[in-house]
Amino acid sequence: MILLGYLCSPIQAMLSFISFQPIRFFCANLIVIAGLPFTTMGQTPIEGNRKSNPDSTNTHQLNLHFQTTYIYQYQPAFSAKYTGVNSLKNAEDRENSITATLNLGIKLWKGAELYFNPEIAGGSGLSGAFGLSASTNGETFRVGDPSPTLYIARGMIVQTIQIGAKGDSFVAESANETGGMKPRNYLRFYLGKMSLGDLFDVNSYSNNPRTQFMNWCLMYNGAWDYAANLRGYTYAFVTVLQQGSMAYKLALATLPTVANGSDLNTDLGQEYSLNGQVERIFKINNKPGMWRLLGYYNNGDMGNYAKAISNASPYNSPYVISTRKLGRTKFGFGLNVEQQINEYFGLFGRMGWNDGQNETWCFTEADQTISAGVSIKGYKWKRPNDVIGFAIDINGLSANHQHYLAYGGHGFQLGDGTLSYANESAAELYYNYKISTSNIWLSGDYQLVLNPGYNSDRGPVNVFSFRLHVEL
């Protein structure tokens, strides 16, 4: 630790406004990974990228990768007529975060793989990630202690069964993908701890806050209250049927014992989440595109907004926690579309809705959402591995959710004490710069949020970010 302090002291001296502990932790990661003899691979979703004509068919029984991501965010002071217990604080704020993940994959018997991901996360979002539905850093969580914490992110077995005539394609090795020749048409099962976002609501252009957009509601569909603990993971059983250009997915997952809680309730007789998705690959002008239609149903120990309002007195604000009852539900839908225009330009968009009658349980307080954006690779300026992205997201609340906040109630994320309702909107612009032939990326990012917490009496909010991402 003394040596580590000496190594990091020049950085601390130059960047004294950044908290020391995450910087020191990041330096430790760089020292460790510098000596690891791993093949460098880009991070991809679990489902993998398929190639009919592989450049190499080299695969290994054991697959090992690593990533670390550091994000620094600065929020200037902004105008606010009042501030509540769960508001985004209107004073100037500086926060940083870091994650480090080890991705281990092992091939077992035929068609079977084991994946294990220990992860460390530390730091904080702006105002502790309170006060916005469209929170600005997808790497942060609403945890009380910003110190780096070790936990198991993923630990699952995957079994693939070929369907129909023989027909394989090569899948490149990457994080959480052992690679090799795999069937084009298959039935695949996932069992264990995972993030549902690895398999559902995936989008090539807007899905990963470590390399793409940082905003929560551009990372996933904001109206999808996806089953997860406060760090974004759950125990689940997922079935995927891939048939030609169509795929069908179904998941049974656990919910946290309390809203945004760290512990998951494994008693499926009390609480559970069902998620289904249909997706199709298509082509326009011979360029690939995809649509994904998502539906979900959560059944848990939720409070009810209307009941909380009716129980409140003239002297007390409504308190949704006091109305919690097993058997309450939340259901919703989402549409996710992406389309490549040419080799360097892509478009994407999402729409989402949930019934908004019972309290938000897992993700973020949004009952309706719509987003759209563009992603441009740097071919035109001779930087083909660089990416610039721009997107806009607009979120809304159900009538009962609005009234609950207006009467002084608060959820696990929002609560200004009162509310002058307006849709919350966020715009994000980022540039991701790849350093030479290394697997190191630097990003600059700007976000503008209007009506933070759905409140026209507060904001607008400007957020400036710097990101450093390393993969091995």
More confident residue, 319 or 170: 319
Please give the pLDDT value at position 396: 97
Closest by CA to 385, choosing from 445, 444, 443, 436, is 436
Q: What DSSP line would sit under 370-384, residue for residue?
A: EEEEEEEEEGGGTEE
Number of independent structural domains in the chain: 1
Query: Contact at 8 Å (CB) between 402 and 454?
Result: yes
Residue 209 lies in a domain: yes
Q: What is the mean pLDDT of residues 210-229?
A: 95
Percent of all residues in the chain with a pLDDT value above 90, rounded to a whole number: 75
Please give the pLDDT value at position 59: 64
Q: How confident is the model at residue 181 (pLDDT cuts 50, 70, 90)?
A: confident
Please give the pLDDT value at position 39: 33
Residues 6+ apart with CB under 8 A from 55: none
Q: What tokens appear for 340 in the block?
A: 């490549």
Residue 451 lies in a domain: yes
Please give the pLDDT value at position 408: 94
| Residue 3 backbone dihedrals phi, psi, to 5 degrees | -60, -40
Please give the pLDDT value at position 170: 84
- pLDDT tens for residues 133-157? 999 999 987 665 678 889 999 999 9
Residue 14 lies in a domain: no
Handedness of CA 176, 434, 137, 294 (dihedral sign): negative
Using the predicted structure, report yes or no on whether residue 210 has a pLDDT greater than 90: yes
Closest by CA to 239, choosing from 227, 253, 229, is 253
Cα(372)–Cα(387) distance, integer angstroms: 17
Rg of the chain over Cα atoms, rounded to whole angstroms, equals 22
Q: What tokens appear for 38 in the block?
A: 């791993």
Using the predicted structure, report yes or no on whether residue 84 has a pLDDT greater than 90: yes
Question: How many angstroms separate the Cα of 436 from the Cα of each of 153, 244, 384, 386, 442?
Answer: 31, 37, 11, 10, 11
- pLDDT tens for residues 12-56? 333 333 344 444 444 444 444 434 333 332 333 445 444 433 444
β pairing state of 93-107 and 186-194: unpaired
Using the predicted structure, report yes or no on whether residue 8 has a pLDDT greater than 50: no
- pLDDT tens for residues 388-415? 999 999 999 999 999 999 999 999 999 9
pTM for the complete prediction?
Answer: 0.85
Q: Is 317 helix (H, G, I), strand (E, B) or coil?
A: coil
Q: How confident is the model at residue 72 (pLDDT cuts 50, 70, 90)?
A: very high
Residue 3 lies in a domain: no
Beta strand segments in 285-344, E: 287-302, 325-342
Please give the pLDDT value at position 175: 87
Please give the pLDDT value at position 340: 95
CATH number of the domain enclosing 222: 2.40.160.180
Q: What is the mean pLDDT of residues 268-277?
A: 96
- pLDDT tens for residues 294-337? 999 999 999 999 999 999 988 889 999 999 999 999 999 999 99
**In the predicted model, what is the mean pLDDT of the chain?**
87
Domain residues for the domain of 385 are 36-471
The residue type of 349 is: G
Residue 298 lies in a domain: yes
Residue 16 lies in a domain: no
Please give the pLDDT value at position 164: 83
Q: What tokens appear for 341 in the block?
A: 């225009």
Residue 129 lies in a domain: yes
Please give the pLDDT value at position 348: 97
- H helix or E strand, kind and range, residue 248: strand 246-253
Please give the pLDDT value at position 144: 58
Residue 147 lies in a domain: yes
Q: How confident is the model at residue 166 (pLDDT cuts 50, 70, 90)?
A: low
Q: What DSSP line would sit under 188-210, residue for residue?
A: EEEEEEE-GGGTSS--SSSS-TT
Cα(115)–Cα(84) distance, integer angstroms: 43
More confident residue, 54 or 245: 245
The residue type of 143 is: V
Question: How many angstroms separate the Cα of 209 from the Cα of each of 135, 159, 368?
Answer: 12, 28, 21
Q: How confident is the model at residue 206 (pLDDT cuts 50, 70, 90)?
A: very high
Please give the pLDDT value at position 168: 80
Angle between helices 20-34 and 2-14 (to 10 degrees): 120
